[in-house]
Amino acid sequence: MSNFYDLTAKTPAGQELKMADYKGKPVLIINTATQCGLTPQFDGLEKLHQDYKDKGLVVLGFPCNQFAGQEPETNDTIVETCKINHGVTFQLTEKVDVNGANTHPIFKHLKKEKGGFLLPKIKWNFTKFLVNKEGEVVKRYAPTTTPDKIAGDIEKAL
């Protein structure tokens, strides 16, 4: 399996995002959805982004439609929807799968490093992973863990 810095993702517009560009910075990765009961977490994630981006934190949202069809937006509309409804300015990626045969390589890596409670699969939208400055997956958070509860771990990672 690759190391975190060997991995890439794509923006909703199709541009490559290299994880290697984030060396030396903690990265918070979240599988997101705009029509989920947990969608208000976008507000808290944006607050983390605003509070810690100047100290080095990178927040990456990976939209996913694998949970009850709760991400109906397209790659063309997702950024605007998140910005209008939640003020999101942190980086979003194109829509990805986080489970199954087409699991995005970043989520394969994250799940391998920090499996779930009984199974490594992602259970729901807004599962979060904290990657430290060295590219190590140091923490996995349940979908119901609100962003404000992660702030202390982010401060340690900075």
Q: What is the pLDDT of residues 50-74, one digit of tens each?
A: 999 999 999 999 999 999 999 999 9
Does residue 115 or residue 21 have the better pLDDT? Answer: 21
- Catalytic one of 36, 57, 92, 96: 36
Is 36 an annotated catalytic residue? yes
The domains of the chain, with CATH numbers, are 4-15+23-157 (3.40.30.10)
Q: Is the pLDDT of residue 1 over 90?
A: no
pLDDT above 70 coverage of the chain, percent = 96
Long-range contacts of 21-26 (CB under 8 A, 24+ apart): 22/58, 23/133, 23/135, 24/56, 24/133, 25/56, 25/57, 25/58, 25/133, 26/56, 26/57, 26/58, 26/130, 26/131, 26/132, 26/133, 26/154, 26/157, 26/158
Q: Is the pLDDT of residue 7 over 90?
A: yes
